[in-house]
Chains A and B, each alone.
Chain A
Amino acid sequence: MKTFLTTSVLALSLATGASAEGKLSLYHWFEYIPQELLDKFAAEYDVEVTMDTFDSNEALLAALKAGKMGSYDLAVPGDYMVKIMGDEGMLDTFEPSELSNFGNIEDRWLDVDFDPGRKSSIPYQWGSTSFSVNKEVYDGPLDSLSLIFEPPAELKGKINVLDTSGETLTLASLYLGIPQCSSDREQLKQLNALVQGAKADWASFGSDVAKDVLVSGDAAAGMIWSGFSAKARAEGAPIEYVFPKEGMIVWMDNVVLLKDAPNRDNALKFMDFLLEPENAAAVTNYAQYTAGVKGVEEFLDPEVANSPESNPPADAKGVFVEACAQDVQEMYDAIWTNLKK
């Protein structure tokens, strides 16, 4: 009996007492990485992984500015936010030689404007922001942003728009054909008038609910991210994701190495881990966007690889969101506040 007790205590201490080799602290978007992948990394490298989540690029920046620098190793900002964080001096740099899988990055994502030469970041996933329409409610042609900004009678009062000024005002600018970060007064007045007029036809503003309102039928059309729309479709919403002729937003989320990272070595290991085609594909299969990594094809679920949301027609136009200068951004903020006052 005594022997039995001793053995079990020993087994218990082996099971629980074994402490991880090191730690890794992530700051990531909500619903964007499968838990199994984190567990796999933790087991493979004997690292204890902790993760907090945010729901917008701006929320990420605000939290880091409010004193969270030094507590996270890696974060996952979108393209323009990588540039902003770089300009603010929040990013650490690494040499390509520090990542054995650096060569797996797709060539077109290697030298990007927001991080030339990929000195601080690696691709995570990319996709687009446009809108989806319930085909049971509206059966006309699906090709223009006018369905959101000057909607037909069937869609009036049944539209959800994203509750962030960057995405909504950029799509509105694309519809009007005016440049982003414009400081031209006539153009800004035009933009202001367009969204003011369209608001009466919109049912709600919401980003995290963008999928749910389409699935439940509360909204018959809604701005949405490509992968989120694919998920809504998989959950039974009779919707089609639209590639508007005026253009759509293209974005890329990136894993960045934060300055003062407490576990820099483990952070680089995790970046390397995410550049393994099998692991990048696991994220894609979960989030339904597209990896910027070579060789993922063989690991993708067929329905994800062939989803209409991830395979835009060849003539689809996309632009990245630009980071505006302060005086210009203040005018866009004023238009947004004016819209929601």
Chain B
Amino acid sequence: MTFPLLRLPLLAMDEIFEQAQYSEIFNISVLSERMNRLVRRRKFKQIAKICYLFVGNTMEVGVEEHSGECHFLVATAFDEYANLNIHEYKIGGVKSNFKLDRSASMVFTFLHDWNSEDLVKKSVVRHCSDIFQQHSPIVQLRITCDQSLSYHIPIIEGVKEMHMHCEGGEGVFADYASSNYPELSCLRINGLYRDATRFHGIDNLFCDQTGPGAMDILRSFTGRYLYLYNSEMSTDDLLEFCRSWQRNEICRNQRLLSIQLNMTLPIFDAERFLLEFETQEWDPNVRPGGIFEDVPDMIDICHFNGPNTEEFRDFQRTDGKWASLLVNDVQLMMIVWD
């Protein structure tokens, strides 16, 4: 059964686009210049975040609404049989041939041939940006790839949050992130890095494989939320950090610090740390506590129970700011109160 959509009044057409799924909007928008113009009348103000995900040679785009609900938008991939049963669609102003593949979850992937991978990815980014980013939502980039970053990953404008995941990538990730995306506010990387100053200006930083460079990061970090996993830090390192913070010399903007220590290296003695660094029990009259807001989801604080417990010890900075500290053999967590 057919329905003459274009013969409806404009208001009704707008209403239909308002109620269609994002992926359906995308699929309609690639059919012609006219359809592209029509769907762009919808402003998509409910989109809080648009996420570009690159895994190997596949690309996926999704959106997150202000309500936290996430929706699939479009996916592309290379396929050696992409030149069979093809259709021509205009994406990002460029006409290309695609074969459509439907997954079990009714999600379509635009399959392209090997030669057009770079062009297709750039076109999809441009297309999504034109339609879904008119009101400037947060742009998030997630990359999972080999350490040489050999797959075509276009540079995307306005990226604020980035998550790079790779097996064995050394240095290249932090360099790639800071060179191409100097405006990042949130970065999560699992590779090692060469230069901690690369993280300067990032508000939320999550390093999955921090290694021996944890102190370098702590000395140069200017943001608010810092997660250092698999850190190689000694008791003296952590004492030095806490004393420097107390003197207001480093991490002045810090709100949350979570250091997970590399357990295979027993160089941290929690008991000695607590003996040598003076703290006091939590007193709700002195430090009332609080909650965290606006922490990007890639900075996972779900496991965190809250600081108002006996496990946390309090101490004060020279300017009067209070901090709570949780220390044991495998971690140090610090929360700074406003």
A and B together in one complex: no
- Residues of B at under 8 Å CB distance from A? none
